Structure formats: structure tokens, C-alpha cells
Structure 1
Amino acid sequence: MANLISVERASLALGTAQVLDEVSLGVLGGDRIGVVGRNGGGKTTLLRVLAGHREVDSGRVTRAGVSSVGVLAQDDVLDPGHTVREAVLGDLPEHVWAGDPRIRDVLTGLLGGTEAQAVGGLDATIGPMSGGERRRLALARLLVQDPTVLFLDEPTNHLDVEGVAWLAEHLVRHRGRPDNAVVAITHDRWFLDAIATNTWEVVDGKVNAFEGGYAAYVLAKAERERMAQVTAERRDNLLRKELAWLRRGAPARTSKPKFRIEAANTLIADEPPPRDDVELLRFATTRLGKDVVDLLDATVTLGDRVLLDRITWHLAPGERVGIVGVNGAGKSTLLRAVAGQLPLASGKRKQGVTVRLAYLTQEVRELERYADWRVIEAIEDVRKYVRLGPKEISASQLAQRLGFTGGRQQTRVSSLSGGERRRLQLTRLLMDEPNVLLLDEPTNDLDIETLTSLEDVLDGWAGTLLVVSHDRYLLERVCDRQVALLGDGRVRELPGGVEQYLELRHEAVEAGARKAASDSASADTARPAVAAGGATSASPAELREARKDMARIEKQLTRLGQREEKLHAAMAAAATDHAKVLELNGQLREIVDEREALELEWLAAAEVVG
């Protein structure tokens, strides 16, 4: 295989942190490399060095035979004034992209088809789109361009389970040629296992290479650590003998056997410093009675759309349920209904008297009210002491064990990374000793090490657990069963797990394609009757009205975005005024609900326009 990128003894420091320390590695043609490591450990910096977007302090980076490089960064670089067609397809003539199976596959997999239904059509403007939709467009643009080396920074963010499965299959099919390669930072372990031929672990300025995906990486790392432990035990035995001999001698004699002291120093010279390990702990759980939460004949609506249609669901004590579904099907809505945060259009919600419920939402903004607080203050705000098994420990001791060591406890919450904020959210929730835990996309911003620790906590969780996640590995690891929301207002059991859900979605897409083809054929053979009856085609007046509605809604969405930015600024300014922050948060929730209703209305108008 051709050596596309070569790195020799590269070093790079950012401030006082040594991000790369004499790293040597290479990217070969046909490589699909997954990059893992702690948040803030240097993964993104390594990607930027490989792509040529950042120079190293010393060493050499060469790119032989690389005609083009594509980078999916975590920041939004799309022009809001462009259309979907301009952003994704550029100046490619229609006969070129429409006749290319690979490009059609990208449009279908990420945007809903050649007409890009998922984002409102190829001529839709990017401006009003959500962050998730923009992220899909940026990824689709890169895959259409098909660069020699493709660098992806968290490509599965904002993708549902179905989208992650499609992306893995696409990369395996199109990124295994000897003339191209892909390097992807990811915390999605199922995705890593599905695509990677090699795994790189970035830790302490070094890059450790492992063959294979996540399963092979875990196995090889465990074996390396076992060998290191054997070596360490042998070294410890020698150290004990050596230091015992030194202690037996009188102080006056210690200068005489100088060679013995030098031998001891040599033994401890390669002793590694203690790791700052994340340790999520087994918090106490309040006893749960036989009644948890019941939804009885419950209906939830959003605007004119019915998200949950007369469902009855009894949550049992100790039940562990994973929830999957298409975006917009109502997964988060179901959690809010269970939590009692969303009024039901009809039906009832019953909650047991012993239930102590905690709800982790996707909003990291929940910590904005503590922006000027220190980490230790945010933890003590829940309680200053917590019982862990048989012992009671202080908030400071807890923060230490959760990776907030030394000065990090005095760090302002506003200065924490996304992963650290997520960890702080989880800590605050668990410290309150709940017995019903609702987690909405808990893996967002968490690195693999923290995810593994979280799963260890959930393994021993004694309460009821509901998890909404696109992380297939997490769902299959911590949940006993899975249910699906397929957009029809129902909750469907999945005895076959996530694999069954993907099969159901594939069947639904194929059935939709067959129906569309049948409807199109019927329209072609009976066009005069259809036009006269107006049953399947919109009149010119209806088209004009739909376009006016789309323009009106886009303006309203823009104004909502401006109001949302002002509210965020106001919340940051009033971070210490809890009452004011709660009031502003209520206004923010109203904006979110209004935006969802407008987006549904916009999609309805877009369907008329076609």
C-alpha cells in the first residue's frame, strides 16, 4: 500500500501542554483509522497536523501522493445564504451527480434522496436549518467530493442509529481502495468496530497503534496492561529488596554503597506518574416501590402533529429500556412525558409515591446558571456529603475521584470542556440518589474512557432506567430490551434489538419507494383526470400559497434564532440569580416548542411545493 502521509518524530506544545511528544506514524492507502482518547487529549490537534492545518514545533510531516484532503470539523463552516444544492453538489452538472451511484447513495443516506426531502429540497436555504441538519450537509459535501484522505471529527454526532449504520457501510464500501484513506475521531464504539482497520489511542502526547476496531483495541490494550503489570510487579519486588537493604544500613553507611543507591534510582526512574483516572461511582439508590411511572392511554401532540397516540406504558421497578427511532419521531418527547414535564393532550400519567426521578436532557445549558461557580461549589449545591456504599465522603473527595483533581475543583464551570460539563451533570444527578433515571443522549461529548465508567455505574444501577441514544453499543450494553418509535405515534417492542429496528426501517423505506414509483406511474397514465380532480397535484394558487408560507416561516425562524441568542446572553448575565434564570429558561423552552411547530409547518408546505 502507498504511504500517503508520514509523520516522523513530531512534537507540538499548546501552552504548557505537550500535545504530541516525538510521535511517528503513517497513513497508508486503504487505511480506515479510528482515533480514540480522552477529551482534551489532542485527538483534534493530531487530525489538524495530519491534514496540514497546523504546523508542528519539531519533526517532519510529509504527504506523498495526496492530491486532496477533506476535513469534517466540529464547527459550522457552511454559508447560510447557500442552498443545499450549492453546499453539497457545488457546480457539478445534474447529469454528472444524478448518474453517479456513489453520489446518489450519499444523497439518499444523509439527505433523504435525490430530492433531499430530509432538508426540505435541494433548493432550500441553509440559513434556517438546525445544527444537526447543517452537520449532515457538511458531511454529505465531503463524501460527494471524495478526497484522497478524509478526516472526520466525530462524524456520528447528530446522526441517528440508522444514519450511523449507513455511514459505516458507505465508508467500508468506498474507503478501502489503495488510493484513498479515512481517519475518524469517534466515541461511537459500534461505529469504530464497523469501520476501523486500525485504532490509534492518543494519550499523554503519544499515539499508540492497535490493529482492528474497538473490540481488537480493548483486547490488545488489556494484554499490554497485563504485560506491564507483570513488569511492574517484578520491578516492585526488586525495589522492596533494594530499599530494605538501604534502610538496614546506618545513616553514616549510606554514602559507602553508592552503587546500591544508584541501582535503586535506576529501578524507579521509569515509574509512571499516577493517572488522573475518571471514576464514576456506585451512588446509593433510594428504595423503589412496585409502582413507578404509568402512561395510560396517553396522547402527546406538537402543533397539528400527533407524536404519541393513545399509548399505555407501565414502567416496572428495575426495568432497563433503550429507545431508538427516527429523528423527530418523539423520543425526547416520550422521556418528557414520562418525567411529567410535558402536558398530555389526553390520557393520564401516574407516578409511584416512592419515585425519585432524575432526568439528564441533551441541554448542557442547564449548567449555565452555574457558569461563574467553581466545580466544587456546583457539586456542593446538591449536597456536601454523599454515601457511597458503606462510607460517607465529602463533595471535595468525590470531585477528586471524578477526575476534578487539585486546581480543577476551583475551575469555573464556564471554563470546562463539553465532556467535563457532561460528567458534572451526571454527578449532580446521581448525588441526589434517584431511583428512576432518564437519559437523553448521555454519550454526547463523553470520551470512551468516561463512557466505560458510566456503563460500569449503570451495570449496578438498582433503579429503573430509560435511555434514548444513537450509541448502539451503549444501548445493547446497559439495556435489557429496546423499543422503537417509527413516527406513527406508537411504541413498538424490538425483541431482535437494534438490528430488528434497522430491518424495519429498511422495509419502510423500500415500501415508500415502491409506492412513490406506483403513484408516479399512475399519474403519468392518467394525468388529465388527476389535473381535473386535483387529487394528487397542487394547483398554481396552492403552490403560490405554499411558497409564501415557506418564506414567512423562514423569517419567523430567523427571528426566533435572534430571540434565542438574546435569551442565552441574558441567562449568562444573570447566572447568579436563580429565579431570573428559571424564568428565562421557561421562555427558552417556549421558543424551542414554537420552533418545532414551525419546522413541521414548513415541511408540510415544502411537500406541496415538491
Structure 2
Amino acid sequence: MAHLLGAESVSVTFATRTVLDGVSLGIEDGDRIGMVGRNGDGKSTLMRLLAQRATPDEGRVTRRRDVHVGYLDQTDVLDGDLSVGEAIVGDQADHEWASNPKIRDVMGGLVAEVDWHAKVSSLSGGQKRRVALAKLLIGDDDVIMLDEPTNHLDVEGVAWLARHLAERWRPTDGGLLVVTHDRWFLDEICTRTWEVHDGVVDGFDGGYAAYVLARAERDRMDSVVEGKRQQLVKKELAWLRRGAPARTAKPKFRIEAANALIADVPEPRDSLALSKMAMARQGKDVLDLEDVSLALGEKTLFDGITLRLAPGQRLGLVGVNGSGKTTLLRMLNGEVTPDAGKVKKGKTVQTAVLSQEVKELNELEHLRVTEVIEQEKRVFSVGGREVSATQLVEQLGFTNAKQWTKVKDLSGGERRRLQLLRLLVGEPNVLMLDEPTNDLDTDTLAAIEDVLDGWPGTLVVVSHDRYLLERVTDSQMALLGDGKLRDLPRGVDQYLELRRAAEAGSGASPLNAGEGQNSAESAPRYSSEETRQAKKDLTRIERQLSKAAAQVEKIQHQMNDGASGDVDFDKMAALNKKLQVVQAEQQDLELQWLAAAEVLGK
């Protein structure tokens, strides 16, 4: 495989802390690399170095001369004065970019619901992130580097991005380097994993599942005295083998070694025992929504939905943006009153909600981490054993030094961990988590899942993190934006199928977004005959466009050849006239394509 770029003995030091210490590595054609490691261990720093957005203190970064690199930073800033369309495709006319299938795919996957004519400055943070990602992906880079690309993407968007990256190059072409906490995404895309820790980078073959196995093997073979961490890795491995067997088909995943490692590891949780404990704490009645309806302005969020939560139930909620997932949690928590229907709450039910913003810690910013937890309780029970507040704080990644850090000095991920700890030590019997994976690294997520495994209560999780949903919940339901709550017996795969079916029936084009057609629900409807004809036209037009493009390329070659030596001006004039005719035909075909695509919602 051809070398694309790499680092030779690079070192980076911040103040007194060495983040990278003499690291050498490379990216070659066909590499699909995922980077994992604790927050602050240098993943983003290494990516910036390889993208040549930063300079190492020592060593050097090399790049093949003809290699083009596309880089999505966590803080990429777009020109706020541009419209969405201008920010993505520049000054290209609609018929120019719309004739490119790759650009159309990117538009449909990332910005179909973003107002095409809106100023970038008016967009939400999530929308700006989607626009920046779309701008990058329509290019033809040899290497793409993505720092947390799944942030602000829903389950559907993450699935689209995984498919796009898997199909973007031939298996032996291009290079991908991605930093993400989304473990499903890592497993779906990556064939190699880099673990950044303690100033070094260790390489592993395979995606996240293979990495977990290899790390457990490494710890065992090196006789590393890391009891707590190793047990956690083994427990995660048990889940990967038992809960998601399809992952074991990944190359390099040595199943016999995995079976030997996890032979004595119990199931991640004993659901029956936890349900009995939950019943004892809650009684039979938990929370019920009966025929509930709610409208916000002109939009109906819930239209006669019914939901009954059982003691010890573990429910995952997925849904399109704006479908009411957070509002549903607030209704269950008693913060929102429905327009119609009933919300019934058991007498012994105590709820707790982990919000997305974690504003609850604002009034405690002057306290240290340990002080915040000890305000709530010093000892509580997890999985039938007593755990001190200090032990729990340590289990979720707060080292001795961090336990004495003031709340105001914590990162976003650390604040989220601390607030979850506050909720747990308060011993609620119904816990609701709203996008709990934001700003957390994979090790911390595994630690949180370990704590939740032994938590005896009813759990409701709203998340775009597919791995987390499948890992900590036993059933899933979906809000599809039509006011209804849909059960998903086959989980997230079924949700994605339902969304694809909905989009096949209607859709919005980025060309008319912002003109009263920002969603699939408000897109124009066409008859089945018109739809069938549009499909036929689209196939015919794309075939003719390919021929026209080949003709243009042939004529241009002839004109280039004729321009060398003695120039035949009559021949050149004839070729130029022919070129203008073909280009006019090409433009007409592109307009026809746009008309057919609008019927199909592309």
C-alpha cells in the first residue's frame, strides 16, 4: 500500500505535561483508523499535527506531495455571512452541483432539513456542524480526518455517515482517521484502532470490538496489575461477544482467545434479579402516560400516545430531531403537563433526570467534586454491595487529584459525569438520561455502563449513541415525528428501516428548503404514476449525462491536441461550436434531472 502521510518521532508538551512522546506512525492507502483514549490524552492534538494545523515540539510530520487532506476540527468555523448553499458549494449554480451524484448524496444525508437560503450565523450549533461536514465531504480529498463527526448527528445521520465513508473509496484507496466516542460507528467503519495513552500510541487491528479483546490480551500477557480496569474491559468484551455476535465476524477477531478470556465473566447484568429489586423499591406502579396529546404552537408532538413503564424496565428512545424526545422525558418527570390524557405516577416513585445542559451544577461551582457528592450521601448500594461516594467517584474516572477540583474548573464531560453521580447517590428509582454520551470518552462510557448494570430501577435513555442504547437498555421505542410512539421489537435497525420507508414516500430538496418546505411532511405530494415516470426519467437522464460528460471530455482533448504545432483554426472553430452544443444539451439535461429529482424528493 502507498504511504500517504505520517509522523516521525513527534513530541508535544503542554506546560509540564508531555502529551505525545516520540510518536512515530503513518497512514497508508486503504487505512480506516479510529482513535480512542481518555479525554485529554492527546487524540485531537495528534490529529491536528497530522493535518498540519499544528507543529510538534520535536520530530516532523511527512506527507506525500500529491496528497490532499480534508480535516474537520471540533471548532471549525464557517463564514457566518454566507448562506448555507454558498458555504457548502460556493458560487456553483444549482444545476452544476446537482448533476454530481456524490454531492446529492451528501446533501440528502446531512442538510436536507437545513434551510438552504439561511445565513450560517442563524443556524444552531448542530446545524453548523452538519454544514461544515457537508462542505468537507463534497470534496475529493485523499485523506479525511474527522474529530468527533457524530456530535449533533442523530441515529439516522450516524448510519448515513458510516455508509458514505464505507463506500467513498475503493478498499485499497484513500485514508480515514476518525476520533469519536461512538463505538458502533468505530466498529462499522474502522479496520484499525490507535489507542492514545501516556504519551504513546498503540496500534490494534480491527475496530472497537477487536480493540477491546486485544487490550484485554495485552494486559494479561504483560501481567499488568490493573485489576479493576481489566475486569471492566473483560465485562465489556463479554457484552461484545454475547450481546452483539455479528461483530465477531470482523477480521482479526480471535474468537477462541475471546472465549478463554470471558469464560468466567457473568452476563453484564442479571435482569431478573434487578427487576425483583426494582419491584421491591417501586411497587407495581411506576409511570404511565395514557392517551396523551401535546402541541407546541402549530406542531403536534404527541397525538394520543400511551406508555407504561414497568419496575426495572430499561427503555431506549430514538427519534428524528424535534420529535419530542426531551419533552417526553420532562412529561414523565412532571415538568410538562399534556393538553389531553393522563400522567399517572406510582406513590413510591422518585425520578431523576440527567439533562443535556447540566445547568444543575451552576450553583455548586464553588465546591470540589468530593464535596458535591458527600452533600448528597456518603454510602449507597450498587448491585447488592455498599460503595462509598469516594469509591464511586473514582470508578467514574475522577482520580485523587480530580476529586479535589472545583466544579467551575471541570470540562463538559467531567460535569456530566459528576451530575450523573449526584443523581445516583440520591437513589432515585426512575432514572432518565438525555443524551448522556456527549463529551465522554469510550473508557468513561464503559465505566458508566458498568455502574448502570447494577442499578436496580427503571431506566429511560434518549440517545443517538446506538451502542449505548443496545448496551444498557432491553427495549427500544421511536418517535417518528408523526405524533405517535412506535415500539421497535428489532431495535435500532427497525427504526432506520421505518425512516427509509418514510423518506421513500416524501422528502425535501435543499433547493427549496426555507420556502415553506423544510421537512418531509410539508413536501409536495405526487401521484404514483408521476413517481414511476420520474424514476424512469432519472435513470435515462443520468445515462445521457454520463455520455454528454464523456463527449465534452473528448472534444476538449481534441482541442488541446489541435492547439499544439500548426493550428487549424477552421477545425478549432468547428470543435468549439460542437462543444457549445454538447454543453447546452448537458445543461438542459441537468435541469430535467432537477425536475425529476424534486418529484422523488431527492
Using structure 1 for the length normalisation, give the TM-score. Answer: 0.73
Shift of 1:393: 5.9
Alignment map for 1:487-566 (pairs within 5 Å): 487-512=481-506, 516=524, 518=526
How far the C-alpha of 1:392 sits from its partner, in A, is 5.7
Q: Structure 2 CA distance, aligned partners of 1:365 and 1:340? A: 18
State the Cα distance separating 1:330 from its structure 2 match.
Answer: 1.0
Specify the code of the residue in structure 1 equivalent to 2:130.
Answer: R
- The alpha-carbon deviation at position 175 of structure 1 amounts to 3.8
The answer to whether residue 35 in structure 2 is matched with residue 27 in structure 1 is no
Tell me, which stretches of 5 or more residues in structure 1 are unaligned? 113-117, 234-282, 526-610
Out of 173, 176, 180, the position equivalent to 2:167 is 173
Change (3 A) 1:487 1:401: closer
> 1:306 maps to which residue?
300
- SS of residue paired to 1:124: coil
Once the two structures are TM-superposed, the CA of residue 377 in structure 1 deviates from its matched residue by 2.4
Shift of 1:453: 1.3
User: Which residue in 2 is equivalent to 1:148?
Assistant: 142
Alignment of 1:85-164 (within 5 A): 85-112=85-112, 118-120=113-115, 122-164=116-158
Deviations 1:76-128 (A, max 9, x none): 5012211011111113343331111111000000011xxxxx112x2221222
Distance 1:353 1:301 in 2: 28
Q: 2:383·2:455 contact (CA, 8 Å) conserved in 1?
A: no
Name the amino acid aligned to 1:8: E
My pick for the range that moved more, 19-28 or 144-153, is: 144-153
Residues 4 and 67 in structure 2, CA contact (< 8 A), matched pair in contact too: no
Q: How many angstroms apart in 2 are the aligned matches of 1:424 and 1:77?
A: 30
Aligned to 1:473: 467
SS of structure 1 residue aligned to 2:212: helix
The match for 2:411 is 417
Q: How many Å apart are 1:66 and its aligned residue?
A: 4.7
Q: What do residues 36-86 of structure 1 show as CA deviations (whole Å, max 9, x unaligned)?
A: 111111110010111111111112210114542222111250122110111
1:447 pairs with 2:441? yes
- Secondary structure of the equivalent of 2:349? coil
* C-alpha distance in 1 between matches for 2:476 and 2:110: 24
Partner of 1:331: 325
Amino acid at match of 1:196: C
- CA shift digits 1:570-603 (9 cap, x unpaired): xxxxxxxxxxxxxxxxxxxxxxxxxxxxxxxxxx
> How far, CA to CA, are the matches of 2:38 and 2:226 in structure 1?
24
Superposition pairs for residues 558-597 of structure 1, below 5 Å?
none
Partner of 1:608: none
CA distance in 2, matches of 1:460, 1:388: 5
1:383 CA displacement: 2.7
> Does structure 2 conserve the Cα–Cα contact (< 8 Å) formed by 1:161 and 1:472?
yes
1:366 alignment partner AA:
E
C-alpha contact (below 8 Å) 1:153/1:186 kept by paired residues? yes
Asked whether the equivalents of residues 360 and 438 of structure 1 are also in contact (C-alpha less than 8 Å), the reply is yes
- 1: CA distance, partners of 2:306 / 2:27: 53
Partner Cα separation in structure 1 for residue 38 and residue 383 of structure 2:
28
| Aligned counterpart, 2:253 | none
Residues 168, 375 of structure 1: alpha-carbon distance in 2 compared, 3 angstrom cutoff: same
With over 3 angstroms needed to count, the CA separation of the structure-2 counterparts of 1:230 and 1:464, relative to structure 1, is closer
What is the DSSP-based 3-state SS (H/G/I as helix, E as strand, rest coil) of the residue aligned with 2:342? strand
Tell me the distance in 2 between the aligned counterparts of 1:519 and 1:232.
64
In the TM superposition, residue 428 of structure 1 has moved relative to its aligned partner by: 0.6
Q: 1:342 aligns with which of 323, 327, 336?
A: 336
Residue matched to 1:190 = 184
CA shift digits 1:494-523 (9 cap, x unpaired): 111111111111111111159957269879
Matched residue, 2:215: 221
Matching residue of 2:61? 61
Q: Any conservation in 2 of the 1:298–1:345 contact (CA below 8 Å)?
A: yes
Alignment check: 8 A CA contact 2:397 2:444 kept: no
Q: Partner of 2:45 in structure 1?
A: 45
Tell me the CA shift for residue 179 of structure 1.
4.8
Q: CA deviation at 1:485?
A: 0.7
Q: Which residue of 1 aligns with 2:547?
A: none
Q: Contact (CA 8 Å) 1:298, 1:310: kept in 2 or not? A: yes
* Structure 2 Cα separation of the partners of residues 171 and 289 of structure 1: 48
**Cα 1:375–1:231 shift into 2, 3 Å:** closer
Change (3 A) 1:290 1:58: same
Evaluate the alpha carbon distance shift between residue 481 and residue 399 of structure 1 in structure 2; reply closer, same or farther with a 3 A threshold.
closer
CA distance in 1, matches of 2:479, 2:447: 28
> What's the offset of the Cα at 1:388?
5.2
Instruction: Give the match's secondary structure for 1:445.
Output: coil
Secondary structure of the residue aligned to 1:11 is strand
Whole-Å Cα distance in 1 between the matches of residues 379 and 226 of structure 2? 36
Residue 384 of structure 1: how far off its partner (Å): 4.0
Between the aligned residues of both structures, percent identity stands at 56
Q: 1:426 aligns with which of 420, 432, 441?
A: 420
Aligned residues of 2:396 and 2:444 also touching (Cα < 8 A): no
Distance 1:410 1:461, change over 3 A: closer
Partner of residue 358, structure 2? 364
In the alignment, is the contact (CA less than 8 A) between 1:32 and 1:176 conserved in 2? no
RMSD: 2.6
Return the alpha-carbon distance in structure 2 between the equivalents of residues 192 and 179 of structure 1: 19
Contact kept in structure 2, 1:2 and 1:178, CA below 8 Å: no
Q: For each residue in 1:261-296, what CA deviation from the matched residue of structure 2 results, as whole angstroms up to 9, or x when unmatched?
A: xxxxxxxxxxxxxxxxxxxxxx99881211101111
Q: Deviations over 1:425-451 (max 9, x none)?
A: 111110101111111111111111111
CA distance in 2, matches of 1:439, 1:151: 30
Q: State how far apart, in whole Å, the 1-side matches of 2:111 and 2:118 are.
A: 12
Partner of residue 80, structure 1: 80
Q: Does 1:486 align with 2:494?
A: no
> How many residues end up aligned between the 2 structures?
470
Partner of 1:237: none
TM-score, length basis structure 2: 0.74
Contact 2:396/2:447 (CA < 8 Å) preserved in 1?
no
Distance 2:34 2:392 in 1: 33
Residues 11 and 59 of structure 1 are in contact (CA less than 8 Å); yes or no, is this contact kept in structure 2?
yes
Q: 1:437·1:464 contact (CA, 8 Å) conserved in 2? A: yes
Deviation per residue, 1:399-447 (Å, 9 max, x gap) = 3444333332221212112221111011111010111111111111111
* Structure 1 contact 32–175 (Cα < 8 Å) conserved: no
CA distance in 2, matches of 1:222, 1:204: 17
